[in-house]
Amino acid sequence: MKRNVVLKLSGVERHYGQGDTVLTILKGADFVLHSGEIVALVAPSGTGKSTLLHVAGLLEHPDGGEVAVNGQACEGLNDEKRTAIRRSEIGFVYQFHHLLPEFSALENIMMPQLIAGLPRKEAAERAKQLLDYMRIGHRANHRPGELSGGEQQRVAIARAVANAPTVFLADEPTGNLDPETAHYVFDALEALVRQSGLAALIATHNHELAGRMDRRVTISDGKIVEF
């Protein structure tokens, strides 16, 4: 099966100023992510994993180079167009679930769909389907505080893919979970990627989970290199 390139980083630079010092995080970084594949980003803390995800997800502008999503070069776009691409094409999950505490699991997943203009009935139907797919349909009306850590992360994953993005970015999505729960959450995520053709880049310290992914990459001297 031919896999399309859905995310491409070309010669990406990212620098931060610290007083009189310039800290270089990414230095001519190149990376390609294909549809239907899961890539592990494994690197020590402080090497730029989160920076890479933020640049790839159009949350930060690179200082040089280009980020393309589904063939669309993004660096020349204004913030409104970048935001539109981010909303429609990119899903994010972080180590902490960031669910809205006053809303139920179902409502949390409906939210991005409603913002995108989907009718409430359709948004609710899709949210229910995603909860069932993640095996937590029976928890649809529970608020985040009433869910376990694994359930919270599965709701967060469902919310991230509610608008059918093509790119999924995750920053230590199982970092707060015990090993058994982490594997359960990853199983659900992997099934979702395989079924939908998502392209996933997942930063993790869990080498066992990383070994289950299609490829492993790290950041070395500001560049992205494969293991």
- Output the domain CATH number for residue 127: 3.40.50.300
pTM of the complete model: 0.90
Please state the rounded mean pLDDT for residues 177-203. 85
Least confident segment among 22-26, 35-39, 123-127, 190-194:
190-194
What total number of domains does the chain contain?
1
Please state, in angstroms and rounded to a whole number, the distance separating the CA atoms of residues 64 and 155: 35
In this structure, is residue 191 part of a structural domain?
yes
Greater confidence (172 vs 125) lies with 125
Confidence of residue 85 (pLDDT cuts 50, 70, 90): very high
Decide if 70 is inside a domain.
no
Q: Is residue 24 part of a domain?
A: no
**Cα 216 to Cα 227: distance, rounded to the nearest angstrom:** 6
**Assigned domain for 209 exists:** yes
Range of the domain at 82: 37-60+78-226
Residue 104 lies in a domain: yes
Query: Who's near 25: CB < 8 A, 6+ residues apart?
Result: 14, 15, 16, 47, 48, 51, 52, 222
> How far apart, in Å, do the first and last CA atoms of the chain sit?
24
| Confidence category of residue 20, pLDDT binned at 50, 70, 90 | confident
pLDDT of res. 143: 96
Instruction: Give residue 46's pLDDT.
Output: 78
Residue at 9 is within a domain: no
Q: What is the pLDDT of residues 57-80, one digit of tens each?
A: 999 999 999 999 999 999 889 999
Query: Does 8 score more than 70 pLDDT?
Result: yes
> What is the mean predicted confidence (pLDDT) over 138-153?
92
**Average pLDDT taken over every residue of the chain:** 90
Kindly indicate the confidence band of residue 2, based on its pLDDT and cuts at 50, 70 and 90.
low
pLDDT at 213: 93
Question: 6 in a domain, yes or no?
Answer: no
E-strand ranges in the chain read 5-18, 21-34, 38-41, 64-69, 72-73, 90-93, 167-171, 199-203, 215-220, 223-226
